[in-house]
A and B are shown apart, each in its own frame.
Chain A
Amino acid sequence: MSLVDATRSVTSSRRLPPLLVFGLLGGILLVYFALPFAVFLGRTGSVPVVETLLETASRTAVRNSLLTAPAATAVATAFGVPLAYVLARETFPGKRLIEALVVLPLVVPPVVGGAMLLSVVGRFTPIGAAAARVGVPLTDSLLGVVLAQTFVAAPFVVITARAGFGAVDERLEQASRSLGYGPIATFRRVSLPLASRAIVAGVVLTFARAIGEFGATMMVAYNPRTMPTRIWVDFISGGIDAIVPLALALLAVTLVVVVTVQRFAGVPTVVER
């Protein structure tokens, strides 16, 4: 028996599960996620959740969030998916720069992002002033909320959809072209269905980010209140317990949307065997 064989047989006799170390390290992080969540939810019993949510201020916040977040997600998807497709398919000078631009809103703190937006659409800027004059103010309005949410959340759908399109073999599109379909028809009938899972994942992430958006929203449209801005107001006046109801509502809305979208839009487009 060679030395190598001898060493091997020794280690195999007291072999540990191969992923033990990874599991332990990952487990610590999981506990760190779960503990605050559980303790926070533990406060639910001492707070009148339903009564608080039925108050006008809360209901308005929920309504505003449910109006703005889907709108922001729709805008991000409508413009982000085409951008993702171009980034996945084309090479052109300056592409790196464009890619950096796409992740910029992720890198910049939302508050700063909001300040940047304000410098363009604020009430005393040419654009903001013009919009306000025709009656669609871009700050302190639902439109302002949508602008802030889109700015912060759109990169998610772009990045995820781009990865999805990148995973579709270009030859599948070439085959479609040679079978008589133009670029748009090929996109609709081949690229889009094959990248749909990634796109849906991106849409869900974007929605979750949009509905929870606080930093940029606070800068651009502190009023009308959305759930996150209302939570901040409640926290200032009433502490942690005061925000439990709205936080629960926000969590519930996000969960419902994520589960529903994944269930209906995310069904595998592949034919089942």
Chain B
Amino acid sequence: MTLELDGLTHRYGSGRALDDVSLALDDGELVALLGPSGCGKTTVVQAIAGHLDPTAGRVSLRGTDVTAAPPEDRNVGLVFQRPTLYPHMTVGENVAYGLESGDLTTDQVSNRVDRYLELVELADRRDVSPASLSGGETRRVELARALAPEPDVLLLDEPLSALDKGLRARLRDEIIRIQRETDVTTLFVTHDQEDAMSVADRLVVLREGEVVAAGPPRQLYNSPPTRFVASFLGRSNELSARVESGESSIVTIGGTDLPADALTDGLADAPRAAVHVRPSDLTVRSMTRSGEQSSEAESISDRSGASADGGASNERPGMIGMPGTVTHVRDVGRRYDVCVEVDSGESVTVERHRNGLRENERVTVTAAASDLTAFPVPERTAE
């Protein structure tokens, strides 16, 4: 393990910022630490870099316990959300800064500066002031500065958050490329699930100072282990469900019954469940204009119709259809977000690629049972 956190806990005054966080990064791995703002991500970074002294727990780098070591003895590269290039030095001097603290000769330092400025494709800006760089160039110089001393671990703390969208995507690709080329073990900290999923080999989801999920991005997205992960990774609708245990359990979602074995196992014990479904997995069709059935709905019903074993009270086996009313349609450019209040009173968002629905129109929202993820809700906390 290149980096290992073991039971890291930190309190600021009376507030708990981190609670028993453990994670490990393999050599050359790119792991994203993902969580909403205020979940303790930056505290993790600060603890790894040595800029704060955790209340409890251990930080190990390459098998050595460094919890008590000062930052300068850790060999950790750091890129912050806001630029930290030194305005009183040139770009080249900034990159050389971390090399001059070691025992390299002047020539070696100079060569290394050239090499890392070439890596970030800014070799021609070596002698300019950081103030004359663009936002993206600044980030790249910071990467070069952090990488030049060849750190054991590179920590990127929200490196893209201050950039606008196009630049962000470009720099994201750049970070992936640089990481592949240098093969440096990297912890990419972000609140943006899109950044995290597109960059990382592995995701670690942090919530209120606790690790709530870890695994490959696609796996966490497709089968989220908790409700929080389901709603935080990508867009998600949450519907409450009632489970009636009997000879064959029945789940009632939005007024539609479904055999419980069509959903996740283990629901039978809990009387209530929260069911998550992605807006892109829902289809919506008008009740009044039956001729206008979307092709997306057809394909879904074809797919799930074959495997369904029937039994639901709905017209199509393996599907649930929830009647409801359109509350509004939002045009977000590449798609329409249709908000529907289903008759059980809950609100769902459906992604649709063409318009044609009006507000207050009566519709049926359809989902395949296989696209639903159900989480049992313990009785105590049921709302």
Contact = CB atoms under 8 A, between A and B. Distances in A.
A178 B129 contact: no
A59 interface: no
24 contacts: A169-B82, A174-B51, A174-B71, A174-B80, A174-B84, A175-B78, A177-B50, A178-B49, A178-B50, A178-B51, A178-B71, A178-B72, A178-B74, A178-B78, A178-B146, A180-B72, A180-B101, A181-B72, A182-B70, A194-B88, A270-B88, A271-B88, A271-B90, A271-B129
A117 to B, nearest CB: 39
Interface in B35-60: 49-51
Given A178-B50, A194-B86, 6 more contacts: A174-B49, A174-B78, A177-B50, A177-B51, A179-B97, A273-B129
Nearest to B79: A175
Contacts of A174: 49, 51, 71, 78, 80, 84
Contacts of A271: 87-90, 129, 131
A97 B97 CA distance: 38
A175 B130 CA distance: 15
A185 interface: yes
Given A271-B129, A273-B129, A175 B101 contact: no
Given A174-B51, A271-B129, A272-B129, A169 B98 contact: no
Interface in A86-116: none
The 3 A-B residue pairs with the shortest CB-CB distance, nearest first, are: A180-B101, A179-B98, A177-B71
Contacts of A176: 97
Nearest to A182: B72
B49 A180 contact: no
Contacts of B101: 179-181, 185
B209 interface: no
B241 to A, nearest CB: 47
B299 to A, nearest CB: 51
Interface in B183-238: none
Interface in A251-273: 269-273
B149 interface: yes
B145 interface: yes
Contacts of A182: 70, 72
Contact of B80 (A171, A179, A273): A171
Interface string B59-87: 00000000000111010111010101011
A171 B88 contact: no
B291 interface: no
A270 B87 CA distance: 6
Contacts of A185: 101
Interface in B74-119: 74, 76-78, 80, 82, 84, 86-90, 97-98, 101-102
Given A179-B145, A273-B129, A172 B86 contact: yes
Contacts of A177: 50-51, 70-72
Contacts of B74: 178
A273 B91 CA distance: 12
Interface string B118-156: 000000000011011000000000000110010000000
B86 to A, nearest CB: 6
Nearest to B90: A271
A169 B81 CA distance: 12
A270 B72 contact: no
Nearest to B87: A270
A27 interface: no
Contacts of B77: 178
Contacts of A181: 72, 101
Nearest to B97: A179
A177 B69 CA distance: 12
A126 interface: no
A182 B89 CA distance: 19
Nearest to B142: A175
Given A179-B101, A180-B101, A180-B102, A169 B131 contact: no
